[in-house]
């Protein structure tokens, strides 16, 4: 089946859940948000939501960053 993941066409086996897709992409479900055809999924749906031919999937990763020190204003 053909799906689009973050703008990139992919051929995947079906049936395939969102959780299985994340696993094949080496992504941890607790660190991403997933949108299917403009609908944001609840994390609890990842195990049961079956992808369908033509689905458009957007995966957003959350990353931390910044300095561990407090910024100081010098004015």
Q: Where are the domains of the chain?
A: 2-61
pLDDT at 63: 72
* Token pair 């897709």 in the structure block, residue: 21
Q: What is the pTM of this model?
A: 0.81
Domain 2-61 has CATH 3.10.20.30: yes
pLDDT at 69: 59
Task: Identify each DSSP E strand in the chain by its residue range.
Answer: 2-5, 8-11, 32-36, 39-40, 56-61
pLDDT at 75: 47
Low-confidence ranges of the chain (pLDDT < 70): 64-75
Q: Which residues contact 49 (CB under 8 A, 6 or more apart)?
A: 17, 18, 36, 41
Pairing of strands 2-5, 56-61: parallel
Distance CA 18, CA 43 (A): 10
pLDDT at 25: 94
């Amino acid at each position: 089946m053909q799906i689009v993941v973050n703008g990139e066409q992919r051929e995947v086996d079906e049936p395939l859940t969102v959780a299985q897709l994340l696993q094949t992409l080496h992504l941890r479900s607790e660190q991403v948000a997933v949108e299917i055809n403009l609908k944001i999924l609840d994390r609890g749906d990842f195990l049961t939501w079956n992808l369908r031919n033509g689905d458009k999937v957007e995966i957003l990763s959350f990353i931390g960053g910044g300095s561990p020190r407090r910024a100081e204003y010098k004015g």
